[in-house]
Structure 1
Amino acid sequence: MITPVQAEEDNTRYEMLLEDVIYTFFYPLEKKATNEYFGEFKQSMFCKFVDVKRKPNMGYAYEITYQFKTFEGAHNPPFYLFTMTVENEELTNWVIKEVQVKKLNGEKVECRKPIQIQ
């Protein structure tokens, strides 16, 4: 007897695309955080989402923690890892709740380029 097997769908590309969309939505807050920390704008690259929490009994209200890495010029050091928590009370009113910054002294942190859709 042959048992049919259904392959799992690979949603990785779609999930990465959604991450990219969310990341671009938070870019103004990221720019504000780097300006406040460095006193000027720094280039950055998305690394990963650390945590996503839905606020109970608040509809579309969330608390999201994610990481991004800053760099100089063409991805040159010094590198800093920002871990930033943002939240909203209303659909489009996002604010920075907390920012932690760590200077990377040779430590490798995996970040990725935006997903390419063809």
Structure 2
Amino acid sequence: MLFRNQVPVERSGGFTTERLLKLADQVPGLRGAGFDAAVRTMKYKAFVTASEKAYENTGDDPKGPGTPSLVVNGHLLEGGLYGVAFEEGLLTRLVVDLHDRPARWSTFWVPFGKRVEAQWEAEES
């Protein structure tokens, strides 16, 4: 919901408390006294700030890797691996692999990404 509304909201002043609550109305079961209080008091502000700082420290760009981005066990999914983030079966396999067998990043996933990129290049030619 937030991602879908990110551009129009940012162009018109950002995610104010009232805008967040109005967007939350569109998600069945989300609104309630606890949720509303958390939004109004900015209960999770420290967590959000810490998450933003961690994101900004991901990679070489001080603004962070861009959105949407996915980093798994310190590995940014980019290039040929970017599409894995949108394929539930592949993403599950990658996350499990990197949790259970971290070395698979360099032995399987990096080569897999390079093969995908080579296929893209061949299709463009």
TM-score (norm 1): 0.26
Task: Specify which structure has the higher proportion of helix.
Answer: 2
The structure whose Rg is larger is 2
Q: TM-score, normalised by structure 2?
A: 0.25
Pick 1 or 2: higher relative contact order, CA cutoff 8 A, min separation 6.
Answer: 1
